[in-house]
């Protein structure tokens, strides 16, 4: 028995579907943490106002020089607690956002097949290096959008976000 079938050509073979990482869970977590950080900073603002309204305690600032410190009031102690919670929440939110952005950028690279303009180091350092932080984070987000949706214009919300 003679089987004279022709081998499949590249046009006959369907292109493999790229394996994309899921972003919904991390995205929702990031949004929830951002809302929580906003609430924490609003609470901190209330404590700032409460401190300003009560004025300086009669004994002066906590550090009175020469190693002498006055005890903090309960309002001052609670302000420090509220401030620490707000800072921790903002830090956790930033970490979740960077994880989300890394997944989005990885998915964009998978869809486009192109290497990102800013390597992995810049995903994190681009936010904190002076002067570079003025354009690199926006560029990372813009590149991810353009790689995942070629031919589409950048949404205005990206520039509004970056301007704010």
Q: How many CB atoms lie within 10 A of CB 135?
A: 12
Query: How is residue 96 written in tokens?
Result: 């979740």
| Two structure tokens written together for 34 | 């951002």
Residue 160 has pLDDT above 90, yes or no: yes
User: CA of 72: how far to CAs of 59, 65, 67, 85, 113, in Å?
Assistant: 10, 15, 15, 18, 58
What confidence tens digit (pLDDT) does each residue in 2-60 have?
556 666 666 666 666 668 889 899 999 999 999 999 999 999 999 888 888 887 554 45
Q: Kindly tell me if the per-residue pLDDT of 151 is higher than 60.
A: yes
Would you state the pLDDT for residue 37?
93
> Which tens digits make up the pLDDT trace of 79-97?
889 999 999 999 999 999 9
More confident position, 100 or 4: 100
What dihedral do alpha carbons 40, 24, 21, 140 form, nearest 10°? Answer: -50
For residue 106, which phi and psi values (nearest 5 degrees)?
A: -65, -40
Backbone phi, psi, residue 140, to 5°: -65, -45
Going from N- to C-terminal start, the domains of the chain cover: 24-54+75-163
What does pTM read for this prediction?
0.75
């Amino acid at each position: 028995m003679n089987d004279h079938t022709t081998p499949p050509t590249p046009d006959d073979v369907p292109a493999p579907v790229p394996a994309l990482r899921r972003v919904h869970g991390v995205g929702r977590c990031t949004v929830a943490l951002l809302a929580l950080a906003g609430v924490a900073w609003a609470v901190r603002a209330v404590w700032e106002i409460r401190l300003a309204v009560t004025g300086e305690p009669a004994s002066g600032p906590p550090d009175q020089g020469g190693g002498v410190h006055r005890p903090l009031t309960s309002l001052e102690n609670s302000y420090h607690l509220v401030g620490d919670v707000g800072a921790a929440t903002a830090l956790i939110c930033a970490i979740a956002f960077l994880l989300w952005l890394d997944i989005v950028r990885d998915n964009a690279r998978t869809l486009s097949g192109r290497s990102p303009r800013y390597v992995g180091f810049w995903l994190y350092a681009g936010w904190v290096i002076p002067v570079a932080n003025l354009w690199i984070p926006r560029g990372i987000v813009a590149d991810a959008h353009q790689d995942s949706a070629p031919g589409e214009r950048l949404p205005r919300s990206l520039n509004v976000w970056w301007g704010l």
